[in-house]
Amino acid sequence: MSPHAVGRRRVHRSVAAGLPLAVVAALVVAGTASAEGNPSQPRVTRTATLGDIPLGTFSNALLPGTVTDDRGVDLGGIGSDIYPAGRKGEFWTVTDRGPNGQIKVDGTKRRTFPVPGFDPAIVKIRVSGDTVKVLDAIPITTSGGKPVTGLPNQAGRDEAPYSYDAQTPLTYNPNGVDTEGIVRAEDGTFWLVDEYGPSLIHVSARGKVLTRYVPKGLNLTGTDYPVVEALPSVLLHRKINRGFEGLALLPGGDLVVAVQSPLSLPDGDAGDASLTTRLLRFSPKKRAVTAEYAYRFDPVNVVDPSEDDTSELKISSVVAVGRDKLLVEERTDKAARLQTVKLTSSANILGGPWDSDTTSPSLEQLDDPAASGVPVLRKSLVVDLGTVDGVPGKIEGVARVDDNTLALINDNDFGMTDGTGAFDAQGRLVDSGIETTVTYVRLPRGI
**CA nearest to 237, candidates 273, 213, 214, 262:** 262
Q: How confident is the model at residue 45 (pLDDT cuts 50, 70, 90)?
A: very high
pLDDT digits (tens, 9 = 90+) for 117-149: 999 999 999 999 999 999 999 999 999 999 999
CA angle 197, 105, 71 (to 5 degrees): 75
Distance CA 154, CA 151 (A): 10
DSSP state of 266: S
- Strand 209-215 to 101-105 pairing: unpaired
pLDDT digits (tens, 9 = 90+) for 225-260: 999 999 999 999 999 999 999 999 999 999 999 999
3-state SS class at 326: strand
Q: How confident is the model at residue 25 (pLDDT cuts 50, 70, 90)?
A: very low
Mean pLDDT of the chain: 92
Q: How confident is the model at residue 334 (pLDDT cuts 50, 70, 90)?
A: very high
**DSSP-assigned beta bridge partners for residue 328:** 318, 339
Alpha helices in 133-276 (DSSP H): 268-273
Q: pLDDT at residue 29 above 50?
A: no
What is the spatial order of strands in the sheet that 101-105 belongs to?
101-105, 108-112, 161-162
For 12, phi then psi, to 5°, come to -70, 130
Positions of E strands within 7-94: 43-50, 82-84, 90-94
Q: Assess contact for 76 and 433: CB atoms under 8 A.
A: no
3-state SS class at 5: helix
Task: Mean pLDDT check: name the lowest of 3-17, 65-79, 379-393.
Answer: 3-17
Q: Which amino acid is at 435?
A: E
Provide the residue count of the chain: 447
Predicted TM-score (pTM) of this structure: 0.91
Tell me the chain's radius of gyration from C-alpha atoms.
21
Q: How confident is the model at residue 446 (pLDDT cuts 50, 70, 90)?
A: confident
Q: pLDDT at residue 311 above 80?
A: yes
Sequence spans of domains, the chain: 1-231+398-447
**CA nearest to 75, candidates 115, 48, 110, 47:** 115
Residue 183: predicted pLDDT: 98
Distance CA 43, CA 107 (A): 44
